[in-house]
């Protein structure tokens, strides 16, 4: 199969920006359409960010590329190949594709975006052409005496368009090179703010970054990107690539019920979901139910701010595994304690499940879903399969 870059004739406004931007003359037009020459396009992505409509952002896997005559004749794009657009979209940037594939693998099945999710813009900036963001916030969001240092970072893009959706990630390029002399690998970070910015209508976004303890072993330095980010000062510049991710997206439907299960920095996308719901759907009928696990309240990112989110917006279960004098409790235990609510939500066709955090989280969560559904007479293997097919069941762990 070959990757082919196409322009959506239904959305394109024929402004000529793409043709003027393309450095190798791969884009041409006639009276009907703007088209991409499959024999010339080298996927440099230079045309993608400037396109004002997003019509340029289409990637098909094809056995035989559509030639120019075919593209000139279109009134609309042909049907997507059965492979589906989402995996292809994720796959555009090889580094990000590998990380996302790994992060999504444990949900099993082919990842799909929720049917109502907005169309994400992806791969607008790459390693050769990163966006430069300015740090406008860096605040510790675990208690001062907590073992884990988790930071809330705000990156501002000034006048550079960097459109994102809740659930997407960005790539950070740490400066410098590794032991082998090659530039450091890109690291992905979930966006922790809503699509319209950390504050509404600002061109910035937030990240939730945990400082990974620096370890030097055999010349290999672990913690490169997270220490770089956690140590950034206001005004520092950061090289950003992406955005990435076309499946782990928030449904754009205020009737959608969303069950969010997370530990640690896995809360990042759910902060974005919650903010989006809070800003757009005050009369939303869909519920947000979150199970959030940490060792103690001091170790739980955003503990203070979460206390202020009304239960009408977010039904939250904060669960602690190392509270002195208390038995250890994990998110899956609290899910079982709320089995009736979880089962009622699972029965609804409007319910979406998202799991995010460190690897291994899914096993306990899956076991809890299996127990709860057994208790309430729901066929979990079937339901899970259909939720996956509908883009209503997602896991992103790293």
Binding site for ligand FAD (CB under 6 A): 99-100, 103, 169, 187-190, 208-210, 212, 222-227, 264-265, 268, 358, 396, 398
In the complex with ligand FAD, which residue's Cβ is closer, 178 or 286? 178
Phi, psi of 309 (to 5 degrees): -80, 120
Peptide bond between residue 243 and the one before it cis (omega within 30 degrees of 0): yes
Q: Smallest distance, Å, CB 321 to ligand FAD?
A: 15
Q: Smallest distance, Å, CB 303 to ligand FAD?
A: 17
Between strands 315-320 and 288-294, the pairing is parallel
In the complex with ligand FAD, which residue's Cβ is closer, 138 or 226? 226
Q: Smallest distance, Å, CB 276 to ligand FAD?
A: 17
In the complex with ligand FAD, which residue's Cβ is closer, 193 or 265? 265
Largest CA distance in the chain: 75
In the complex with ligand FAD, which residue's Cβ is closer, 104 or 384? 104
Q: Are 270 and 260 in contact, with CB atoms under 8 Å apart?
A: yes
In the complex with ligand FAD, which residue's Cβ is closer, 142 or 226? 226
In the complex with ligand FAD, which residue's Cβ is closer, 33 or 227? 227
Say which residues have a Cβ less than 8 Å from residue 311's Cβ, sequence separation at least 6. Answer: none
Q: Smallest distance, Å, CB 27 to ligand FAD?
A: 31
CA distance 166 to 352: 14
Question: Alpha helices, DSSP H only, in the chain?
Answer: 17-21, 68-73, 85-90, 94-104, 224-230, 268-280, 303-307, 331-337, 339-347, 361-375, 380-389
Q: Smallest distance, Å, CB 228 to ligand FAD?
A: 8
Say which residues have a Cβ less than 8 Å from residue 351's Cβ, sequence separation at least 6. Answer: 256, 257, 258, 259, 345, 392
Q: Smallest distance, Å, CB 96 to ligand FAD?
A: 8
CA distance 81 to 113: 16
Q: Smallest distance, Å, CB 318 to ligand FAD?
A: 18
In the complex with ligand FAD, which residue's Cβ is closer, 65 or 243? 243
Positive or negative: CA dihedral 134, 139, 140, 142: negative
And the tokens for 375?
């208790």
Residue nearest to ligand FAD (CB): 226
């Amino acid at each position: 199969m070959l990757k082919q870059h196409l322009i959506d004739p239904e959305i394109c406004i024929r402004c000529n920006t793409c043709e003027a931007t393309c450095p190798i003359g791969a884009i041409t037009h006639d009276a009907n359409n703007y088209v991409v020459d499959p024999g010339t396009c080298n996927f440099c992505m230079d045309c993608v960010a400037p396109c004002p409509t997003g019509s340029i952002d289409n990637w098909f896997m094809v056995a035989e590329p559509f030639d120019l005559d075919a593209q000139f004749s279109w009134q609309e794009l042909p049907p997507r190949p059965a492979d589906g657009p989402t995996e292809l979209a994720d796959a555009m940037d090889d580094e990000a594709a590998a990380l996302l594939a790994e992060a999504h693998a444990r949900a099993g099945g082919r990842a799909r975006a929720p049917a109502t999710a907005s169309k994400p813009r992806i791969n607008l900036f790459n390693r050769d052409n990163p966006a430069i963001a300015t740090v406008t916030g860096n605040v510790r969001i675990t208690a001062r005496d907590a073992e884990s240092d988790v930071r809330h970072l705000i990156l501002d893009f000034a006048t550079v368009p960097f459109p994102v959706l809740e659930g997407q990630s960005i790539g950070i390029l740490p400066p410098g090179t590794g032991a082998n002399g090659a530039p450091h690998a890109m690291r992905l970070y979930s966006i922790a703010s809503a699509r319209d910015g950390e504050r509404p209508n600002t061109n910035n976004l937030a990240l939730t970054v945990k400082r990974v303890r620096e370890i030097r072993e055999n010349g290999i330095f672990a913690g490169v990107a997270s220490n770089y980010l956690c140590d950034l000062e206001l005004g520092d510049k950061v090289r950003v690539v992406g955005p990435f991710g076309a499946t782990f997206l928030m449904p754009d439907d205020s009737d959608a019920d969303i069950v969010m299960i997370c530990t640690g920095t896995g809360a990042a996308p759910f902060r974005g979901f919650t903010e989006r719901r809070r800003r757009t759907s005050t009369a939303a009928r869909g519920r947000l139910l979150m199970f959030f696990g940490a060792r103690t309240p001091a170790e739980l990112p955003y503990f203070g701010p979460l206390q202020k989110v009304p239960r009408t917006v977010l039904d939250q279960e904060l669960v602690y595994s190392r509270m002195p004098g208390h038995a250890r409790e994990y998110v899956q235990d609290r899910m079982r304690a709320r089995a009736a609510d979880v089962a009622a939500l699972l029965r609804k066709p409007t319910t979406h499940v998202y799991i995010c955090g460190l690897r291994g989280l899914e096993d306990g969560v899956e076991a809890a879903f299996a127990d709860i559904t057994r208790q309430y007479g729901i066929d979990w293997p079937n339901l899970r399969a259909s939720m996956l097919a509908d883009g209503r069941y997602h896991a992103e762990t790293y």
